Amino acid sequence: MATSSVPLARKGFQAVKRLTSFLFYALMDERRANPTWHGIGYMPPPNGAARDGALTLTNIDAPAQLEADVCIIGSGAGGGVVAAELARAGRHVIVLEQGPGDQAPQFDHREIVGTQRLYLDRGTTSTRDLGVAILAGACVGGGTTVNYQTSLRLPDRTRDEWAALSGLRMFAEERFSSALDAVCDRINVGTVESAINGNNDALRRGCKALGWSWQHLARNARGCDPTQCGSCVFGCRHGGKQSTAVTFLCDAQRAGTTTIVPNCRVSRVTYDRSRVTGVRAVARDADSAMGTEFQVTVRARTVVVAAGGLGTPALLLRSGLKHPALGKNLYLHPTTAVAGVYAEMVRLWEGPPQTVMSEEYAALDGNFGVRLEVSPAHPGLLALALPWFGARDHRQRMQRAAHVSATIVLTRDASGGRVRVRRDGRAAIEYRPGVRELAHMKRGLAAAVRAHVAAGAEEIITLHSREQVLNARGATTAAIDNYCASVVAAALDRNWSTLFSAHQMGTCRMGAGRDTSVCDERGAVRGIDGLFVADASLFPASSGVNPMLTVMAVAKIVGEGLAARS
């Protein structure tokens, strides 16, 4: 099935393989352990001492009618920043978050718990054809709670490109630079705490040996505990990760009246003719064994949607909004990986997740190309990603899991997909990498292979369904070249290889053109007074770099504009 010529068979295989392999290594017994962990050299960190929860949360346990000056939907990089701006301006703000209200004391660093509680669709989100597995945060703090803390500014060349594409000069202006400066300062972006663990060091060694450019990545950290950093993808118990939950949302609650409601999914935005009136939502009683639900109505003259590149267009579509660009231009930064197996222990699940990046191939075609980064992986995710060539082969590979380093190939895409809504109102994600994206990704794969070889890997494995394995010990130049040529020739999309996305952008893009952009330069949704967007769905195109800082800067500009309104 994995290599069938029938696309539906490959899709079915991936559905079964991903779920079973993840659960086999992530499920726990009554002792909160998994019998495979000892055999693969995995030892999850204990749930160390946790800081107190930073936020006061409001749980809904009965039908409710609420009122506020502003209702913000989503508490991540966009929603948190807007909440802080408006609270400082004296607005009464309500923030609705569909995910749970877990904070530091509730974060559980076991993979199965963190994935199912803090990620969208319990970690199972994907495109409709399962061709791209999607990781997105769905909790208080959104993606900033579970991301790798990589804090990259939007490159100047991309800013100029966005300004020309959208017709909005703000991307190239000083006010955008000032917004980036402000958010970087608030979340303490820097490299002081970006320790280079074994996983990142493999990429650094490879780049240095090849004479390639590489950089030490800045992160939003303040007093991190490196022994817990590898598990902060399931929330930071220590409080070192400067997510919106410990920065901007705290600012909002300190500065004014800000109510944060978790476990509350907005079903639609309400409006009268062309004027927004509020939202309708469904709150779930998280303490109820039955998951009892209650209807919630929020009346507000301003609504800011910050539910992300998938959730925001789905909500606007559910609400009956019509615009030719709504839901279109979905960019995912399609990503694949190359696993290098080393003689020494790597333990890619320990230490700061991402601290090294190479931009050697970032400009393969103008401003488009790939960036090489690394990815942490706990056993379930590693097993889900690795290809399946049979039980014996799988067992042998997982027995060396502690020796694996994972280099990822993050591709800047220009071919957009689309978000629609299904009959149940949930997002349906249609996306397939284009010809240029696939060509760039293949170039990046060959580069990642050469980086692993240069770093001293003994064996190299790609994620293709048809076996692509190189015994790198003593491999000749010709053997390495032939392997890279084979990797470049192999199919990647439509479940011929495992592809991932952790960045979703562009589905409600902002711009000057009324027919080509859903929102104007203020983030205002065209045609509905009082309705705004403040998240990555505003991006005119893909960013090419991890988008957190760009989301925050755009949201700050949107928030400042709203705060200045009478």
Would residue 525 count as lying in a domain?
yes
Mean per-residue pLDDT, 472-493:
97
Mind listing the pLDDT tens digit for each residue in 527-549?
999 999 999 999 999 999 999 99
Grouping H, G, I as helix, E, B as strand and the rest as coil, residue 269 is: strand
pTM: predicted TM-score of the whole model, two decimal places:
0.97
Length of the chain equals 566
State the CB neighbour count (10 A cutoff) for residue 73: 30
Which tokens sit at 485? 């040529």
Mean per-residue pLDDT, 65-80:
98
The reply to whether 7 and 23 lie within a common domain is yes
Mean per-residue pLDDT, 427-444:
98
The reply to whether 299 and 169 lie within a common domain is yes
- Read off the pLDDT band of 175 (50, 70, 90): very high
The reply to whether 491 and 512 lie within a common domain is no
d(CA 62, CA 218): 44
Strands 469-471 and 459-462: antiparallel
Would residue 541 count as lying in a domain?
yes
Would residue 124 count as lying in a domain?
no
CATH number (domain holding residue 172): 3.50.50.60
The reply to whether 487 and 447 lie within a common domain is yes
The reply to whether 513 and 460 lie within a common domain is no
How many folded domains does the chain comprise? 2
Mean per-residue pLDDT, 387-409:
97
Q: What share of the chain in percent tops pLDDT 90?
A: 96
Domain membership of residue 198 as a residue range:
1-31+129-137+193-237+332-502
Pick from 254, 221, 237: which is nearest to 103 by CA? 237
The reply to whether 416 and 430 lie within a common domain is yes
Mind listing the pLDDT tens digit for each residue in 285-307?
876 656 799 999 999 999 999 99
pLDDT value at residue 443: 98
Mind listing the pLDDT tens digit for each residue in 245-283?
999 999 999 999 999 999 999 999 999 999 999 999 999
Mean per-residue pLDDT, 158-164:
98
Supply the mean pLDDT for the chain: 97
Helices (H), 242-387: 248-255, 308-318, 379-385
**pLDDT above 70 (res 219):** yes
Element spanning 166, H or E: helix 156-166
Exposed, middle or buried, 130 (CB in 10 Å: 0-12/13-18/19+)?
A: buried
Would residue 446 count as lying in a domain?
yes
**pLDDT above 70 (res 327):** yes
Would residue 58 count as lying in a domain?
no
Mean per-residue pLDDT, 115-119:
98
Q: Which of 454, 481, 502 is a domain's end point?
A: 502
Would residue 37 count as lying in a domain?
no
Q: Which of 487, 502, 517 is a domain's end point?
A: 502
Which tokens sit at 305? 């949607």
**pLDDT above 70 (res 566):** no
Pick from 396, 293, 332: which is nearest to 62 by CA? 293
Mean per-residue pLDDT, 393-412:
98
Mean per-residue pLDDT, 356-381:
98
Would residue 57 count as lying in a domain?
no
Would residue 217 count as lying in a domain?
yes
Spell 294-313 as b/e; 16+ CB within 10 A means b.
eebebebebbbbbbbbbbbb
The reply to whether 295 and 431 lie within a common domain is no
Q: Which of 471, 502, 533 is a domain's end point?
A: 502
The reply to whether 300 and 448 lie within a common domain is no
CA 206 to chain centre: 26
The reply to whether 518 and 498 lie within a common domain is no
The reply to whether 197 and 288 lie within a common domain is no
pLDDT value at residue 290: 67
Measure Cα distances from 181 to 178, 266, 552 in Å. 5, 32, 11
The reply to whether 384 and 437 lie within a common domain is yes
Measure Cα distances from 338 to 203, 335, 449, 513 in Å. 11, 10, 7, 41
Mind listing the pLDDT tens digit for each residue in 35-51?
999 999 999 988 888 99
Q: Angle between the 548-564 and 77-88 helix axes, to the nearest 10 degrees?
A: 30
The reply to whether 382 and 479 lie within a common domain is yes
Instruction: Using the structure block, give the residue that is written with the tokens 């030719």.
Output: 324
